[in-house]
Structure 1
Amino acid sequence: MTNLIIEISKYFMIFMFAFYTYECFAAFRQKIKPEQREHILSRQCAAIFLIHFDAFGVIYLVTEDISMLIFYAAQAVLLAMIQTCYQLFYSRSSRLLTNNLCMLLTIGFIMLTRLSFDSARKQYFIALVSMIFSLIIPVLINRVGFVRKLYWLFAIVGILALLVVTIAGNTSYGAKISLSIAGISIQPSEFVKILFVFFVAGMLYQDTSFQRVCVTTVIAAIHVLILVASRDLGAALLFFVTYVVMLYVATKKVLYFAGGLAAGSAASVVAYHLFSHIRVRVRAWQNPLAYIDKEGYQISQSLFAIGTGGWFGMGLYQGLPDKIPVVKQDFIFSAVSEELGGIFALCLIMVCFSCFLMFLNIAMQMKDQFYKLVALGLGTIYAFQVFLTIGGVTKFIPSTGVTLPLVSYGGSSLLSSMIIFAVIQGLYILRQDEGEINASKSRKNRQNRKKTTGFENADIEKLS
């Protein structure tokens, strides 16, 4: 009976997530009435809670642990709080972005609870603190205009934080990536990447002269080189790609973009010869089965999990995701694919892609060049991090050891991702305010013109 319920539950979650994903892109349509869009967003919200309820019903059925029901209720309250707070305090915020945030958090909670209840509980409390902190950010984006003048402060703080990790950081899988403060592990690069985007935007939004570009490139290179020195090459690649994209958009010079790609390619070859753990990862990527008992074990188990899951998955608690090393952090996508299926995993990718489209849409519509670059930079960080994570676990690229935003276990990653979403919400609200101000000015101009000429524009067109 239990197996039958798990099987039915699995198909229900796949159907609901596919429906949610379809609605994500339906909400992007321009020729859609506001009330229709609201209905779409409300249906999405309902789908989130139904998937959450269904999954935790299975978890309780398998574990028969009453604490799972209490934990489910606490998560449902948190998700409802996120939805309510954004609508209450920021009525102009993007509900689609809020829905996607809640959906990704829900998937993370489900998989982490299935993998490790203690880790899921820690992730929950971090999410709660992150929500409270991130709710302050949209109002700061709208009120603190001088933030664009603090770019040197962002650079100094970022470089110092990365240097501290390089000197006194904890080594994990050959790289120094974290610090332990009062028993709490913090990964500074997760927050420095946000400061880095604000630094680059502050440097390039007004002046893109050759001298300015050279200075900015040197400071950006210092960030990357410090990360390389601490062997955090996944973060180094993330910083590098983000800078190249922001530089190209700010200057509109293809030469800079081509030069960046060439420099990145050359740096990859140098890194391969300098760092032994890079060579290990490349060997594991090229032929994981040949090294399955050593360096190829992790990626082999990941591929086995994805293949075993097929299109429809094994169902919660029916797979063996625990066989994958570091499954809660770097390889959680493999666990999702094994137990919830390839269709569910593809929908997860599409939801992440819809978040990226939102970031780009906001960047393109912002009139302020500084905020345009900020939105673009944060969007690039988010999209490229998703690409590195999923590309690594599917053997599309060598594993880089980065997490899947909002889904993987990790306090620093979760907090930084929620900050990024909060900043984008602030920019979205700012764009809405700009649109209303422009519309108000346009109405006043029409009224003044009518007072002067006695005609509206439409009347003048008819007469002509």
Structure 2
Amino acid sequence: MENLVIELARYLIIILLAIYTLYCFTVFRSSDKRRQSSTFNKQIGLLYTIHFICYLVLFLETKDTQIVILYMFEIAFFAIVLSIYKVVYRNLSRLILNNMLMLLMFSFVMLTRLSFSLAVKQFIIASISIAICVVVPFIIDKAKKLENLGILYAIVGIGLLLVVLVFGRTQYGATNWLYIGGIGFQPSEFVKILYVFFIASLLSKANNFKQIIIVSVLAGAHVILLVLEKDLGGALIFFITYLMMIYVASHNPVYLVSGLIGGSAAAFVAYKLFSHVRVRVLAWKDPWSHIDREGYQITQSLFAIGTGGWFGLGLGKGLPSSIPVVESDFVFSAISEEFGGIVAFCIVLICLSCFIMFINIAMKMKRTFYKLTALGLSIVYGFQLFLTIGGVTKFIPSTGVTLPLISYGGSSVLSTIIIFCIIQGLYVRNK
């Protein structure tokens, strides 16, 4: 009987998530606010149903009552967030909120499957992050003052990266971790938010050649420090964000083209200078010839994705632990293996829905500072998605960045939730 339930659950999750994803792209076909609200409520109902089915399967497979307790806490978490955010963020974007909770739900489920202790830590971090972000609307209320602190944002960001360079700890080839009192975090995850604010602040004042040179020098300092820390994934996100914000603010394609040429040259230099970059490129070009060494991680990822097929092996039926660092960098591969390609594709579409909403909000902003801030945070989020999913599917070399809101990692989850809430706050203020 249990095997029948688990087998049926596999297909039911696919159907329900496909319906949820369809709503993401059809909800605004009607301008009727009541109909839209009804669709958003249906999405929440689907979220709770998928969440219940996943934890039912996990409980049937493990018979661990701790899973039931964690499930109850997560139900309370979703209910509290939905209640509080509708009050704090008045006239908020319901779709962004729903998608954020859906992605967090999959994070909780996959981490419970991989490691119960990591799932508990992720839940605690997410809860703290949500509590912190309750104050975001009040901070954005002071946006006129925030708009004038561009140089300060740059100084704080560069200072934090310098501290990491000197005192940071190296993990997986990059010196991007800082430990205080035994607690580790990645300052670069928070610096990228300050980085967007600094560029938006300076470019909202002027976008002439002199101002662009100033912005470029300060942005270059951020990128160079990340390169020295060998955090090349982070450096790439910072560089592309800078490039797009400069282009949008100036409307000058020369900056975009020259930036792409300069970035390509810098990538070639990085390939020559850093051995771990050469290893990742080697693993990307021909992982099968180095399957027992450099190509082991990516080949295991491809095996997992291929084994899962369209419908997956079923939650708890795969071998995700065979992939190194599966809980953070390669969690998408674990989802593909156990939930299947359809679910994985739906998750990509949900993330894409968030990105489209972010860009749409940026376009509707009247003040330049708001517009550039929303745009910059959108690029940070969207490009990180591209790097993560592209890396695990061998579309591009792996860069070691996490899948926003789904991968395990306190710094990543907190910074991504802050990004979502800043954009929500800007959306509310603009309305």
| Partner Cα separation in structure 1 for residue 144 and residue 69 of structure 2 | 43
Alignment of 1:200-219 (within 5 A): 200-219=199-218
Q: AA paired with 2:402?
A: T
Q: Match for residue 11 of structure 1? A: 11
Distance (Å, rounded) in 2 between the aligned partners of 1:377 and 1:142: 19
Q: CA deviation digits over 1:400-427, x for unaligned, max 9?
A: 0000000000000000000000100101
- CA shift, 1:28, in A, is 3.0
User: Deviation per CA, 1:10-47, whole angstroms, max 9, x where unpaired?
Assistant: 11111111000000111233x42111100110000101
Q: Does the Cα contact within 8 Å between 2:88 and 2:137 map onto a contact in 1?
A: no
1:325 aligned partner = 324
Give yes or no for contact 2:233–2:400 (8 Å, CA) kept in 1: yes
2:60 is matched with 61
Alignment of 1:370-409 (within 5 A): 370-409=369-408
Q: Distance in 2 between matches of 1:378 and 1:89?
A: 21
SS at match of 2:205: coil
Q: State how far apart, in whole Å, the 1-side matches of 2:56 and 2:383 are.
A: 34
Is the partner of 1:306 in helix, strand or coil? helix
1:200-234 Cα offsets, whole Å, 9 max, x none, are 00110120111110010000000000000010000
Please name the residue that 2:23 is paired with.
23
Q: 1:154: how far off?
A: 0.6
In the alignment, structure 1 residue 170 sits paired with structure 2 residue 169: yes
In the alignment, the residues of structure 1 paired with residue 159 and residue 92 of structure 2 have an alpha-carbon distance, to the nearest angstrom, of 34
Q: Which residue of 1 aligns with 2:155?
A: 156
Aligned twin of 2:292: 293
**CA radius of gyration, larger in:** 1
Report the residue type matching 2:398 in the other structure. Answer: S
Partner of 2:417: 418
Following TM superposition, by how much is the alpha carbon of 1:90 offset from its aligned partner in structure 2, in angstroms?
A: 2.2
Q: CA deviation at 1:392?
A: 0.2
For the aligned residue pairs, the C-alpha RMSD in angstroms reads 0.8
> By how many angstroms is 1:6 displaced?
1.3
Map of 2:361 onto structure 1 = 362
Superposed, 1:306-321 pairs within 5 Å as: 306-321=305-320
Q: Percent identity?
A: 53
Give the TM-score, by structure 2 length: 0.99
CA distance in 2, matches of 1:26, 1:32: 11
Q: CA deviation at 1:328?
A: 0.3
Partner of 2:235: 236
1:424-455 deviation per Cα after TM superposition (whole angstroms, max 9, x unaligned) = 010110121xxxxxxxxxxxxxxxxxxxxxxx
| Counterpart position of 1:438 | none
Once residues 160 and 89 of structure 1 are traced to their aligned partners in structure 2, the CA distance between those partners, rounded to angstroms, is: 33
What residue number does 1:344 align with?
343
Q: Which amino acid aligns with 2:23?
A: E
SS at match of 1:205: helix
SS state at 1:290 partner = helix
Q: Secondary structure at the match of 1:375?
A: helix
Task: Give the Cα–Cα distance (whole angstroms) in 2 for the partners of residues 249 and 277 of structure 1.
Answer: 34
Q: How many Å separate the matches in 2 of 1:339 and 1:278? A: 30
Counterpart CA distance in 2 for 1:102 and 1:145 is 30
Gapped regions of structure 2 (runs ≥ 5): none
Gaps of 5+ in 1: 433-464
Match runs of 1:43-122 below 5 Å: 43-122=42-121
Deviations 1:30-88 (A, max 9, x none): x4211110011000010111010000000111110111000000011111111111112
| In structure 2, C-alpha distance between the alignment counterparts of 1:3 and 1:338, rounded to whole Å | 18
Following the alignment from structure 2 to structure 1, what is the Cα–Cα distance between the partners of residues 3 and 107?
A: 23
AA partner of residue 383 (structure 2) = F
